[in-house]
Amino acid sequence: MLQKKFNNCAKKKLAMRAYNFTLIEEKWQSIWQKQQETIPHEPSHYARKYYVLNMFPYPSGSGLHIGHYTGYVASDIIARYYKHKGYHVMNPMGFDSFGLPAEQYAIQTGQHPAITTEKNISKYKRQFRQMGLDFDWDRQINTSEPTYYKWTQWIFLQLFNAWYNNTTQKAEPIETLLQAFTSNGNHTVEAACDEDTPLFSAQEWNAFTASEQQAKLLHYRLAYLKYSMVNWCETLGTVLANEEVKNGFSEIGGYPVTRKKMKQWSLRMTAYAERLLEDLSSLDWPLPTKEMQRNWIGRSEGAEITFNVQGASNQTIKVFTTRPETIFGACFIALAPEHPFTSFIANTTGDTLLIDYIHKARNQSDRNRLAAPTSLSGMFLSAYAIHPFTGARLPIWVADYVLPNYGTAAIMGVPAHSRQDYLFAQSFKLPSLPVIKSDNPLESEPYEGTEGKLINASFLNGLSVPMAFASIIQELVRKKIGKYKINYKVRDPIFSRQRYWGEPFPIYYKEDGLPYALSEDQLPLVLPEVSSYQPNKSGEPPLSNALNWTTPEGYPLELTTMPGWAGSSWYFLRYMDAYNANDLVSKAEEEYWSPVDCYIGGAEHATAHLLYARFWTKVLYDLGHIRRKEPFDKLFHQGMILNLSALAYRIKDKNEFVSFHLKESYDVVGIHVPIKFVYNHILDIEALKKWRPEFADATFILEDGKYICGSKMEKMSKSKHNVVNQERVIAQYGADALRLYLMFLGPLEESKPWDLAGIEGCSRFLHKVWRFVHYAQDSWTTTECINAKEITKTMHQTIQKVTEAIQRYSFNTAISSLMICLNKLSAHKKVEKSIVENFILLLEPFAPYIATELWESIGKEEVIKTFPFPDWDKDSLVETNYAYPVAINGKIRTKIIFDCPTPDTIIERAVLMDAVIQKWLSGKTVKKVIIIPRKMINIVT
């Protein structure tokens, strides 16, 4: 065999050619950086383009880790493959560089976040290059650069100066709305607007002052100011998005978060709810992600019904229900703690228990409030609503399972036909009245189905559920006490943060206190220097610490900044035309590069980033700035790399930690601590105290003199402090081995636990490749090739398998095919140069360093990454013979080779005459011989 002969006869010669991955990788990193190719500005010589995109990272101080690289390596393989196939490939990289960690560091040290960010980006780029990732650095973008966020601010102005026309189902310039108001007022305008938008005639509109008109327009703008319930973190001094809050504490730092009403910028994404839902069907996305977006958007059809409050002639409560046909089964009204009537009762009565309940309920996350307990909490408000059909009194309760952001923040409780209403009624011994006949006993479970006839329902009796639904809607409209309504769970996202390190709003305020837009020629509005990165003494955001933060005319500028997701909602467009100073993206570049052919990123972004990016794309499309209404036609989620994490348990509202086996006696919050501080579950307390200032004065309740941590197998993440540094792995095994191992762990879309021991096999494979190529090269002039046809067949089989595996992102099977191929080729004394070339080309997307070095070593002068990928020859794949497994009564006894095709009669005769088979058949009578072509042969006795 080739490898055995090499080992026995050529050790001395090949010792000079040992595989030194460190030297090879350093060599090619230097060469590639110097020879970094730019994307051609005239791509006419390319037949096709391919735009592969990664979800770009936030450049944290700790740098990249093993868990980050799965998607990056996968996209690099795809990009390299399509370059080999002659495509004009764009594989860009940039940085989502506005973020909370850099600002927290600035608060602690006084160092400007831009300095920290620049250092971190340099570190990331070095780590990317270390892994051999062939990104197009000439298209790099950083969201915190003024040349970039100028266009983020520009997009905000497009939102501010637009409204959504429900008639045309698209966003339109605000000027068209002004024209409608001037001519006809707003009585006939079909627009997405605030619920409390006042009606006015053209005469009234034209009589309004400029300030009054500006105030009215805020009800319609796609970017608008309003009071909203927000997640407020006092320690961090900012509003947090729902996904940044875990169990009432900030994801960063674990600080307490409360619910608070504040005036915030919001974006009218709800106007696009139906389009966001409908257009999902056209996308080649993972089905679970599409379903998550559907659930997040949460379309539901039902009715809005008005209930009068007993004893209050002007007081009404509107409820939204998806089951209006069950109205005769309504037994109570439940309000969200945030509902205005709840606050009215609390303020009127001064009931301290009620006030305390409302406060606690409001500070719970929606997720906790919707958890599925066996009972639900609430309080009776000592008030009643009047049933609009029966006149019955329905008690009004406040209940935390009713959310403020869905429907009207009020529901009619129908315990017989809603599980949550049933649990609530059971908890407080409220009555229940079934109105749909079913075989379900009320005592066990409510009947939530839609099969059956209406009972106990007055004029609805005997109707099917669908017929009753239609009938009750008609009656509600006739009596003017309700209407058919489509509701969506999705809310308008809050778009402002009380922080420094973010995009400044291009907004100023006049004496009337209303917001006005800067002109586009005033962009970018650059972040100013500030004396402190913390809020001022009055509690105003950090931008209040800037000198002369005003327009040239002296008007004050907006003090809040945009959220972290602003710059990431459109970055895929800027890559197409990264340095265009005059346009967001030129028409020509956008037309050429759109759409993104493959977008790779984590499934954790399914509802936030991906939804926001789709929303912004649709707005820009409506306003004529881009030609496509969806940003990403194809989406692929790489699986997570898992690792053990360590948990310490902090007593709520204290800086005291309880050991694992004692935590049940306390009210605690689990906090992730660095896994490097934990050995055999025992925490190094002194190391933790030195790690961060907030732990310096912490106290610990120990067991047997030790602090025992909890553990959990979860996503490798900096926030969970369970990461593995890739630089140590690369130093030991090389970047190519790490790339191969990350892809070989399993299917790309599945999550995999990290185990360093597994990389040994990939390392041995690369060493074997190195020896094989060098020995094959030596044999080209000394040995005659004997089995050329068999070798060619092996190679073309591998080309087919690797190509097809890359196209379906099955990289683990592609690598397996390469390993099998290498074993087969190594068994031959001589392998032709063309075969070796093809093998190196197949390897290059996966292990570019060793492939490029070997390509050079066999005398190839062409650049390997643009050299044509090998194509398989179908004729070479034709099987000329087949080794049939031969079984007797189902047990395989031998293999016999037959030419393809061979008649069954000849096969049967030859099998029965085979010496091995005759031995096993001795003394037995053959009943029949079953031949499955190119599968197996079974002899039945």
Known binding residues for ATP are: 718
Q: How far apart are CA 163 and CA 169, in angstroms?
A: 11
Q: Which residue has the tokens 């006490």?
A: 481
Beta strands in 78-176 (DSSP E): 88-90, 162-165, 170-173
Whether 95 and 56 have beta carbons less than 8 Å apart is answered as yes
Nearest to 856 by CA among 31, 7, 16: 31
| 320 membership: H or E segment, kind and range | strand 316-321
337's tokens: 């703690």
Q: How far apart are CA 30 and CA 28, in angstroms?
A: 5
Beta bridge partners of 53: 599
Whether 333 and 410 have beta carbons less than 8 Å apart is answered as yes
Task: State the greatest distance between any 2 C-alpha atoms of the chain, in Å, as a whole number.
Answer: 113
Tally the residues of the chain.
941
Tally of CB atoms within 10 A around 85: 17
- Distances from the Cα of 513 to the Cα of 152, 523, 651, angstroms: 24, 22, 44
Beta bridge partners of 797: none
Q: How far apart are CA 62 and CA 691, in angstroms?
A: 13
Q: Give binding residues as ranges.
A: 718
* DSSP 8-state code for residue 290: H
Beta bridge partners of 596: 632
Tally of CB atoms within 10 A around 824: 15
Beta bridge partners of 227: 263
- Edge-to-edge strand list for the sheet holding 881-888: 891-899, 881-888, 936-940, 928-932
Nearest to 82 by CA among 866, 688, 909, 851: 866
Q: What is the DSSP string of 846-884?
A: T-HHHHHHHHHHTT--S-GGGSPPP---HHHH--SEEEE
Q: How far apart are CA 61 and CA 127, in angstroms?
A: 13
Q: How far apart are CA 591 and CA 559, in angstroms?
A: 37
Per the rule left: phi > 0, alpha: psi between -120 and 50, beta: everything else, 884 is: beta
Q: How far apart are CA 593 and CA 725, in angstroms?
A: 35
Beta strands in 425-503 (DSSP E): 482-488
499's tokens: 């922080």
Q: Which residue has the tokens 């309920």?
A: 361
Nearest to 305 by CA among 489, 476, 478: 476
Nearest to 384 by CA among 433, 335, 311: 311
Whether 497 and 561 have beta carbons less than 8 Å apart is answered as yes
Q: How far apart are CA 711 and CA 723, in angstroms?
A: 14
Tally of CB atoms within 10 A around 921: 17
Whether 777 and 836 have beta carbons less than 8 Å apart is answered as yes
Whether 63 and 57 have beta carbons less than 8 Å apart is answered as no
Q: Could you tell me the sign of the dihedral formed by the alpha carbons of 57, 59, 60, 61, in that order?
A: positive
Q: CA 684, 688, 691 angle in degrees (round to 5)?
A: 140
Q: CA 846, 850, 851 angle in degrees (round to 5)?
A: 65
User: 166: which residues sit within 8 A by CB, 6+ positions away?
Assistant: 190, 191, 192, 271
Ramachandran angles phi, psi of 36, nearest 5°: -50, 120
